[in-house]
Structure 1
Amino acid sequence: MRTVVLSDLHLGNGQGYDIFAGAEALPAFLETLAHVPTRVVLNGDSVDFLMNDDPLGLEVARAVEQARALVAAPPTAAVLEALGRVLAAEGEVVIRLGNHDVELALAEVQAVFRCALRQPWRVARRLVFQRGDVPWVLEEGGTRVLLAHGEQHDPWNEVDHARLPGPGAPEGVVASGYRYSAGSLLVKQLLNPLKRRYGMRFLDLLMPDFQGALLAALAVNPAAVKLVFQRSSLHMGWHLLRRSVSALAFELEDSELELGLAQRVAGAGLTLEEQQALAELCGVGQVHFVEAEPALERAQQKLLRCALEFYARGHRCIAGDASERCFDLAPRRGEWDEACRLARTYRAGVVLLGHTHAARWRQDEGLLYANTGTWTWLMRLPAPEAPASVWADFLQELQRNPALVPEHQRLARLEQRFTAVVLGPHAQGGAEVSLVEWRPSGGLWALASTQVPPQQAGQCLAARG
């Protein structure tokens, strides 16, 4: 049986926050898998329980209500029904939890999704949910293949599995004791209000780099960020952010309160004049709608470039014809180091992750690392080396069109890249692994493919960067 691994679908509820881009493409892709028994693995953030206006807190009744809203949304319903047909064709479907869908750990929520498959109970009951607290290691042709969502090495988004209730949870764990990650807090209390009240849809496309998303919002509309921050329970973070841009010392007893925001602002390299211009706009008291003086404009441009650095490296595009795209599959050093660590710890020859929304591929030193990418919308950015004038134009466009209305897009255009990993035993031994892209107009394309040889019994890879 071949295995197809996807991640970061972020299926939504149709209530204004949706970023899933494969409403037609994903059911069509899954339909091609229903003709031959196939194992489909959704490797985290399959659905998104954070994209709503509900309070952030794990309650069973609220989670069930959110699940019903998700499965009722036509794009989500179509994907789930397609997964049901994969199961009906004697395939397998495994859904592993990520940091945006921890509610899937609850048995009551799982029941909602099984019903949404639109299959008889004997078929629907074969849908498997995995908590994701430890990596899942498969064996294909004698090769150990490790699957994990990838948030475990991200301290801002790490899931507290020890306090997460549901089947397989530690004894005595209850929903009221669960605590969401810092990233989830910022999504709910800061980014969602900015999207809802100020139309900043572009923030969703920068996930999971929530710190970069907030800095991008600060660049586009500092006054809006100030208002939303002060109305949230994270106002301490605002004070630190404000003081960091005004070059004042500020000590915190609890370092976790800073959420990494001050370091990101510092990384923008603002001059003292630019810091003062931004601090004046973001000062204590009434919001000042000052004229866009040169120092403030430069500060906003620098903040935007700093904020989008992670995204630009993750989804690098070639400027030019919109139909001509080039994506950099080479992982960053930190990604590769984490893949090597997992390979050593779990004696794996293949490591498959998600979470970053950036498809990746590297084979080196006895290890194949791949990231399955995302099925959300992607935003085209200026080239990282573009001159300041191009970034100034990009900033002005986001200020005029923060909701990314298509007819007003020129630089900040939306794109899509539907990627997955396909693996199975190779005829000559070991595993055959491919990073593929589903193109609605042309079917399945292999971006990279290789044979990973079988491992010797007891072999522990010494993969190095």
Structure 2
Amino acid sequence: MAESERTEHDLIILSDLHLSAGYNRRTGTYDRNEDFFYDAAFSRFIDVLLQRAHSEGRAWQLVILGDLADFLQVELPERRAGLTSAPTSVAKLEVIARGHPDFFRALARFVAAGFPVAIVIGNHDIELIWPEVQARFRALLAEHGAVAVEQRVTFHPWIFYRPGLVYAEHGQQYDGINSFATLLQPQLPYRPEVIELPFGSFFVLYLFNYIERLDPFADNVKPVTRYLIWALRTRPIKVLATFGYHLRFFSRVLRKTSPLTRAQQQARRERYRREVLRPAAATIGLPPDVLEAIDRLAAVPALSSRWRQIVALWFDPLLAGGPLALVLWSLYQAVRRLRAPRRSWLALIGALAGLLWRERRLMRPATDPGGYLHRAARAIDELLTAHGLAVPAYVFGHTHTAERAPLRSQDEMPRYFNTGTWTPIVPQTFDLLGTRERFTFVQITRDPHSGAVLPELLVWNDAAGRIEPLPLL
């Protein structure tokens, strides 16, 4: 049977590769903004998938679940009008392809073997929304030997849904720092030739692209809003060296607040749902009412108001570091006064309680339910179940943390998965089984006898050349 005639595919889902300018053969160095150094590992992973397809009779589909590339971390030699315009984004894609030839060759081999690739768009590669960028991406694969790229390489701006099998999306829509007000039509309403970037993108553009000249892995601290607290604790001298960048970031990003009033923003959203979202339902494969209900679960973008920006910039990071600062201050007051007043001891007890709460949150195992994406997956499962559209696996990316957890307390299925990342990780807590990088992914197959769906969270062990279960505690 020809591959184009197959309707059932086993799925390999991975995300958050963050390719940027890559390796410069002339200088023998990587770009300072680069996060993906594993082109050879990815190539070997693809070869193993092709071997398994032959030996096990599998028909794979590769799903890259957002943030394949990081366009904002690609700097062009000349300044161009429209940072996120289609012509500028095509030029950046050329830079990415030159810096990652082995990656594009591997992807082309996969497509040339007859297997489709679905690319879900994330917040760091939203520029893939432009048809011109999609066409150039397909052409790059064709230049490396891929065939039938128009049919086999598809782009999905939001949801990848297969009935009875999987619901998948990148996940930025449930994170107010990175959500888009009108994801399927993300252009600025008053400048449709450029994209309306979320708050988190300006961290990359105005802060990390400069800081990474001194600290190349600054944007590998997740979430990005905690970088300053993390850096103050681990690299205080570098924070002082980059203090000017922080001030410039704060001053510039506060000018990015939406000029629309709350009523105007709401009217824009309702018009988007009516004119763009509902007509897209047939392409996605979900009823319009269900798609609109999922859209209403999205977090309000931080740039929608000055207050939300202040909360994202100051309140959330201070919530992480505040209890520790209060503990230290209370201890200082208690030691300074041997007979400290009652309010000092009450402050100390309250601060210790806050610190304990924070530490318990950071120590949550990756197999326990929690976090905004798990809550979103549970809400989406309830919506799909109510309409007879439920699936056994709900897969997200975005947070860079590989996770697996049941969505219902008494049932093994359905499960929530997070694919993790193929970039270096700066952990928040000590992880005995963790390393600087783990090539994690989700595999979804069917039992050959019962036909039951078998979703698994796996890891590519590049040193051993094999796929293994990901150990989670």
TM-score, normalization by structure 1? 0.67
1:175 Cα offset (Å)? 4.2
Verify: 1:363 aligned to 2:406, yes or no: yes
Q: What is residue 31 of structure 1 aligned with on the other side?
A: 47
Q: Which residue of 2 aligns with 1:439?
A: 461
Contact 1:206–1:311 under 8 Å retained in 2: no
Measured after TM superposition, the shift of residue 121 of structure 1 is 6.9
Assess if the C-alpha contact under 8 Å between 1:12 and 1:70 holds in 2: yes
Q: What is the correspondence of 1:365-380 to structure 2 with a 5 Å cutoff? A: 365=408, 366-379=413-426
Distance 2:420 2:36 in 1: 13
Give me the whole-angstrom Cα distance separating, in 2, the residues matched to 1:28 and 1:273.
Answer: 50
Q: Structure 1 residues 361, 58: closer, same or farther in 2, change over 3 A?
A: same
Structure 1 counterpart of 2:306, from 241, 248, 254? 254
Alignment correspondent of 2:87 = 61
- 5 Å-filtered alignment, 1:192-207, equals 192-196=209-213, 199-207=214-222
Counting helix residues as a fraction of each chain, which structure ranks higher? 2
Aligned partner of 2:127 in structure 1 is 103
Instruction: Report the alpha carbon displacement of residue 27 of structure 1 after superposing the two structures with TM.
Output: 0.8
Are the structure 2 counterparts of residues 234 and 342 from structure 1 closer, same or farther at C-alpha, using a change threshold of 3 Å?
A: farther
1:200 and 1:217 in contact (8 A); partners too: no
Deviations 1:184-208 (A, max 9, x none): 0111111221222xx122312114x
- Partner of 1:445, secondary structure, is strand
- Report the counterpart of residue 101 of structure 2 in structure 1: 77
Q: Whole-Å Cα distance in 1 between the matches of residues 253 and 132 of structure 2? A: 36
**8 A Cα contact 2:367 2:403, kept in partner:** yes
Deviations 1:314-353 (A, max 9, x none): 8x8xxxxxxxxxxx44443433222111212233331011
Corresponding residue of 2:321: 268
DSSP-derived class of the 1:34 partner: helix
Partner of 1:322: none
Q: Does 1:90 align with 2:119?
A: no
Q: Which runs of 5+ in 2 are unaligned?
A: 1-8, 23-30, 54-58, 256-304, 331-351, 385-389
* Superimposed CA distance per residue, residues 155-195 of structure 1 (whole angstroms, 9 cap, x where no aligned partner): 11013424336xxxx9x996435210000011111122122
Residue 396 of structure 1 corresponds to: none
Unaligned runs of 5+ in 1: 239-252, 276-301, 317-327, 385-410, 450-465
> Aligned residue pairs: how many?
355
Q: Tell me the residue number matched to 2:15.
A: 7
Is 2:173 the counterpart of 1:152? yes
- Tell me which residue corresponds to 2:380: 342
The match for 2:195 among 178, 194, 200 is 178
Corresponding residue for residue 231 of structure 1 = 248
Asked whether the equivalents of residues 42 and 94 of structure 1 are also in contact (C-alpha less than 8 Å), the reply is: yes
Identity %: 24
Write out per-residue CA displacement over residues 68-124 of structure 1, whole angstroms, 9 at most, x where no aligned residue: 000001xx3212211111111111111110000011111221222222223457433
Distance change >3 Å, CA 205–CA 193, structure 1 → 2: same
Residue of structure 2 aligned with 1:115, choices 139, 147, 150: 139
Partner residue of 1:164? 186
Alignment correspondent of 1:455: none
Q: What CA distance in whole angstroms lies between the structure 2 residues aligned with 1:24 and 1:3?
A: 22
**CA distance in 1 between partners of 2:152 and 2:65 (Å):** 14
CA distance in 1 between counterparts of 2:161 and 2:45 reads 25
**What corresponds to 1:137 in structure 2?**
161
3-state DSSP class of the match of 1:180? coil
Structure 2 Cα separation of the partners of residues 381 and 98 of structure 1 = 23
CA distance, structure 2, for counterparts of residue 29 and residue 203 of structure 1: 27
| Cα 1:53–1:232 shift into 2, 3 Å | farther
CA contact (8 A) 1:21 1:416 kept: no
RMSD over aligned Cα, in angstroms? 3.6
| SS of residue in 2 equivalent to 1:13 | coil
Amino acid at match of 2:462: P
Deviations 1:253-286 (A, max 9, x none): 82133151221224422249969xxxxxxxxxxx
Residues 44 and 311 of structure 1: CA distance in aligned 2, closer, same or farther (over 3 Å): farther
